[in-house]
Amino acid sequence: MTSTPEAPGSDAYLASLAGIVHEVEAAERLVAAGQITQLRVLARAGQLAEAQTVGADRRVAAHDMALRCIAAEVGGVMRITDRAVQRRIDEARTIIEGYPASVVAWEQGRITRGHVLVIVDTGSVVPVEMRAEFEAAAIARCEKDTPNRVRPGLDILAQRMHPRSFTERHTEAAATRCVRLVPGRDGMSDLIATLPTVIAEGIHDRLTQQARAVIDTRGERSVSGEDAAAADTRAAVAATDTRSTDQVRADIFADLLLAGTPALDDTRDTTAGPLGAIRARVQVVVTATCLTGSDDGPADLVGRSAIDAKTARRLAGDQPAWERLFTDPVTGTVHEVDTYRVPHRMRRYLQARDQHCRFPGCRTAAIRCEVDHTVDHALGGETTTRNLGHLCQRHHSMKQFTAWRVRQLSGGVLEWTSPLGRTYREDAPTPAVAFTPADTTPAPF
């Protein structure tokens, strides 16, 4: 039996594979070199911000303002938000300044970027004076195995090298527990709870057991003490339930959170307790045709992502009043806002026009922003829609305390100028809800 040129084990196959591996190896070296170069440049950006503020007035948080200014400048070139750049600068300084031996080992090809990130992550609990000792031991381990395999060992090593007990540090860490919402696509989001590991593991285990119990009931047609009609009904429901374990687990999780009564805040009576009294606030833009069910296009959850039509209708149905937007039928630009409530007309108009913070790249919803005078009121700026725009607290502060400047053109257009003289045009966002003119041309016979 003869092998084809590209059959596994043939000379041609081995030569092709060797070429691919060689090219991947070369590409990895190029990528690593580029990543290391970028880290060093970003670290220098952070060092520049620090050098600028030596002896500055700390009352205006000079260092933070300088760093925001530089991050915004770099973000304009990288085409990402200034917040993302600032995070990268902080990460770069941590790696370059805090773990120089790891960077050298990465540069020499002895370890990879994944190893460096594991070293930095696990080493964050090690006191600075012991970091070099930890880093040397960590690099030696990383040279022998993959990042995911060395992580557990490095984590234990770091914990043991810490002068304070793990129990004491865990007590402090537990105080930082929180819940976060991460918007996703297609009307879905991730709800992330940062909890003590035991609690998180217990929650997942209980949800898993409950989900399995639900799935195990499928196909059962009778239960002791249950009449035949009830048994048939339950069996029919079970037969149509085709959810996976993950889906059932997620549904139970939602049911417990949405329908359960807080143990420490009894809200079962007619007077809501502190937790029950809190209501969420969201800003949703939805078309009239979507509300009436004529179309199922997504609605816009401003500042987050698209949401499904069914959810939008449910939200609209629960509201005692709506706000109607009048838009240009071609461009979709908002011209006027109508409301059935007694409105703060100017503020409502600006929320409809701006939708979110008007600094380039920022998506903070307008309802969580400040209405800013483009030309400061103290300098003669008028309180008109031609001189107002929404800025989040972060970018409002940047406008006040850094060299970033903005002017407002007609139609709500903002023109930002960076300290280097680069200009960024920020048009009034086109609403997710827009209409096109109907075609009134008579149809040919």
pTM for the model stands at: 0.60
pLDDT at position 357: 92
Helix axes 113-122, 100-107, angle to 10 degrees: 170
- Segment 52-88, tens digit of pLDDT: 877 666 555 677 888 999 999 999 999 999 999 999 9
Residues of the chain with pLDDT under 50: 1-3, 221-226, 261-280, 303, 329-333, 335-336, 338-343, 435, 443, 445
Orientation of helix 82-98 relative to helix 62-78, angle to 10°: 110
Calpha distance 369→394 (Å, rounded): 9
Predicted confidence at residue 300, as pLDDT, reads: 65
Residues 83, 394: contact at Cβ < 8 Å?
Answer: yes
The pLDDT tens digits for 312-368 are: 777 777 666 566 555 554 444 454 454 434 245 678 888 888 888 999 888 888 888
Distances (CA, A) of 278 to 273, 285, 317, 365: 9, 23, 19, 20
Supply φ then ψ for residue 390, to 5 degrees: -85, 130
Q: Which two tokens stand for residue 59?
A: 């009352």
CB 69 within 8 A of CB 76: no
Residue 52 tokens read as: 């600028």
DSSP letters for 286-313: --HHHHHTS--PPEEETTS-EE-HHHHH
Question: Residue holding tokens 């908002």?
Answer: 334
Share of the chain residues as helix, strand and coil, in percent rounded to the nearest 5? 55, 10, 35
Instruction: Determine the 3-state secondary structure of 316 from DSSP.
Output: helix
Rg of the chain taking only CA atoms, in angstroms: 29
- pLDDT for the residue 272: 35
- Beta bridge partners, 337, equal 325
- Predicted local confidence at residue 279, as pLDDT: 42
C-alpha 114/C-alpha 31 separation (Å) is 13
As given in the structure block, the two tokens for residue 79 are 């085409």
Q: What digits encode the pLDDT tens for the residues 181-217?
A: 998 888 899 999 998 876 787 788 777 777 777 777 6
